[in-house]
């Protein structure tokens, strides 16, 4: 699957080069800007995200149309993520990674090495390119100073990488890539934690009954529908957020009341969307808690407890992937299944344990790393809960419950 998607990605990149080499290129003063953005965003996007999430499955015959295809896809995604349109302090979609900052790492790499670098990034919880789960809606007022740390060019020290060739050691390339992604991720989370973003979260909970601002796993069709459904509320919602900034309960309550002033058709649309969005609310903290606890509980030592935790983790992740079959959700299902298989193999101590434990631990920690990147606030809650569960004897209690379901000393 990766090879087919990688080939498609490279064919589109080749079309972009055809356009640049054509006589048509340069007739508009914006051609170079469009070319660089389309190329950078395409290179930074995992091939399977292109095909499985964004739905790009073919290459346009006309070279310039390949640029328009990528540009339209990215701009459409950003527009769908605005959620609340028409506010004075406009909401914009911010990419977790700036393509201009990391182009030096990816541009001169072979398709195979580029894929390896993107796979490593995903394994470490970094989201790159046009992947919607790495684009967060924030206010314009904090876009430059906080999300980009004052520099839209991507040339800020620590952001921009030097140019690497395909002959450079892959570990050196990865080190520079990861360092840039880590700093950009930090800025991304600062913007998400900003009061203006948290006010939007409260407004979203009031209008939609759930968080469509920082919960980035919600499918794009739901986000698009939410942006349109909230249009009649924009002006008054802006007043509510401004008046009650910092008071989450007041924002949520007053935002909810605004729905009563809509006509029947508008109210019905929002109520239906509330039910649709509500059904997609995921227990991310629970997943992180199970994953973290399982990862520090070797299968041979934890026995049936590890198997139970593993089964719960797989089930939860499968349910999430069924509701939102994105690339990263399916990847996390595969990692959870690998960890579960290692639990089974390592249940009875023996030669196989030496192989099963590292494989299971690696898959489990990779899943935890991705969970942390996707929901840092849920992580804080889950980490405390997981360790408290262990310290309080949770593992021992669950072991007794498994061995003796009738036990009343749990």
Q: Give the model's pLDDT for residue 241.
A: 95
pTM over cut 0.85: no
What is the mean predicted confidence (pLDDT) over 48-63?
A: 90
Integer Cα distance of 223 and 234 in angstroms: 16
Q: What percent of the chain has pLDDT over 90?
A: 36
Residue 58 pLDDT greater than 50, yes or no: yes
- Residue percentage of the chain with pLDDT more than 70: 73
Convert the pLDDT of each residue in 181-201 to its tens digit.
998 888 999 999 999 999 999
**In the predicted model, what is the mean pLDDT of residues 97-113?**
87
Angle at 369 between CA 296 and CA 293, to 5 degrees: 25
| pLDDT of res. 376 | 61
Look at residue 167 in the predicted model and tell me its pLDDT.
95
pLDDT for 347 beyond 60: no
Is 32's pLDDT higher than 70? yes
CB-based contacts of 294: which residues, under 8 Å, 6+ apart?
Answer: 302, 306, 309, 310, 313, 339, 343, 364
Note the pLDDT of residue 209: 87
CB 96 within 8 A of CB 182: no
Nearest-CA neighbor of 114 among 50, 69, 62, 63? Answer: 50
What pLDDT shows up at residue 394?
Answer: 46
Q: What is the pLDDT of residues 118-169, one digit of tens each?
A: 999 988 888 898 988 888 899 999 999 999 888 877 666 777 888 999 999 9
- Write out pLDDT tens, residues 352-395: 555 555 666 677 777 677 776 666 655 555 555 544 444 454 44
Is the pLDDT higher at 239 or at 389?
239
Contact predicate 294/381, CB 8 Å: no
* Radius of gyration, CA atoms only, the chain: 23
Q: Give the CB-side neighbour count of residue 405, counting CA atoms within 13 A.
A: 0
CA atoms within 13 A on the CB side of 98: 23
State residue 92 phi and psi, 5-degree precision: -125, 155
Average pLDDT over every residue of 213-235: 84
Question: Could you tell me the two tokens for 34?
Answer: 């469009």
Q: Is 303 left (phi over 0), alpha (psi -120 to 50) or beta?
A: left
> What pLDDT does 1 receive?
58
């Amino acid at each position: 699957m990766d090879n087919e998607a990688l080939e498609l990605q490279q064919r589109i990149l080749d079309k972009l080069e055809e356009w640049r080499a054509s006589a048509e290129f340069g007739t508009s003063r914006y051609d170079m800007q469009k070319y660089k953005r389309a190329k950078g965003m395409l290179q930074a996007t995992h091939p399977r995200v292109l095909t499985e999430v964004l739905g790009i499955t073919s290459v346009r015959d006309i070279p310039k149309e390949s640029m328009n295809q990528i540009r339209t896809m990215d701009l459409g995604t950003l527009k769908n993520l605005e959620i609340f349109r028409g506010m004075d302090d406009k909401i914009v979609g911010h990419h977790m990674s700036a393509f201009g900052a990391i182009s030096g790492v990816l541009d001169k790499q072979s398709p195979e090495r580029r894929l390896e670098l993107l796979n490593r990034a995903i394994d470490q919880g970094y989201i790159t390119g046009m992947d919607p789960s790495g684009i967060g809606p924030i206010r314009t007022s904090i876009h430059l100073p906080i999300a980009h740390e004052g520099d839209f060019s991507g040339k800020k020290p620590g952001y921009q990488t030097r140019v690497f060739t395909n002959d450079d050691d892959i570990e050196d390339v990865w080190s520079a890539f990861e360092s840039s992604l880590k700093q950009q991720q930090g800025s991304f989370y600062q913007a998400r934690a900003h009061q203006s973003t948290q006010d939007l979260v409260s407004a979203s909970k009031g209008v939609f009954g759930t968080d469509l601002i920082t919960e980035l796993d919600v499918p794009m069709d739901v986000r698009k529908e939410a942006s349109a459904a909230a249009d009649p509320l924009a002006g008054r919602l802006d007043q509510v957020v401004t008046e009650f900034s910092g008071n989450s309960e007041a924002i949520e309550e007053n935002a909810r009341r605004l729905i009563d002033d809509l006509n029947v058709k508008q109210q019905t649309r929002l109520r239906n969307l509330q039910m649709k969005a509500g059904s997609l609310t995921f227990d991310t903290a629970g997943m992180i808690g199970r994953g973290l606890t399982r990862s520090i509980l070797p299968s041979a030592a934890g026995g049936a407890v590890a198997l139970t935790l593993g089964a719960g983790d797989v089930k939860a992740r499968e349910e999430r992937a069924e509701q939102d079959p994105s690339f990263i959700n399916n990847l996390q299902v595969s990692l959870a299944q690998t960890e579960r298989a290692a639990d089974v193999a390592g249940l009875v101590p023996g030669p196989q344990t030496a192989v099963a434990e590292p494989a299971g631990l690696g898959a489990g920690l990779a899943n935890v790393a991705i969970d942390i990147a996707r929901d840092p606030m849920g992580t804080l809650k889950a980490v405390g809960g997981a360790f408290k569960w262990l310290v309080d004897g949770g593992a021992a209690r669950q072991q007794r419950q498994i061995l003796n379901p009738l036990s009343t000393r749990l």
